[in-house]
Amino acid sequence: MPSPAEVESPTGDEVLDPDRPWVVLVWNDPINLMSYVTYVLQKLFGYSLEKATTLMLDVHEKGRAVVSSGPREQAEMDVFRLHEHGLWATMQQD
């Protein structure tokens, strides 16, 4: 039988797994060129032209797209580099 310390105490919906991956979103904006956004996604994430174009069109038509996911530190680095390139990026836990 496990000791009490080994039993996770259920506290309802508030129990969040801190290791849940983070997602990085890019949001639509009226200024960045479609060609530039596609290029930046290829450059930063190594995506093919086809995949980067699909993501860019999602941003353009649906307002946003998830462009990467992973641990918090990786997501922060991705967001920073996207901001450095002028893209409108946010991060949130999945």
Which residues are at the interface with other proteins (CB under 8 A)?
A: 30-33, 35-36, 38-39, 42-43, 45-52, 76, 79-80, 83-92
Q: Classify strands 22-27 and 64-70 as parallel, antiparallel or unpaired.
A: antiparallel
Instruction: Please give the angle made by the CA atoms of 49, 38 and 48, to the nearest 5 degrees.
Output: 20
Q: Classify strands 22-27 and 89-93 as parallel, antiparallel or unpaired.
A: antiparallel
Nearer to other proteins, 10 or 46 (CB): 46
Nearer to other proteins, 74 or 90 (CB): 90
Nearer to other proteins, 6 or 13 (CB): 13
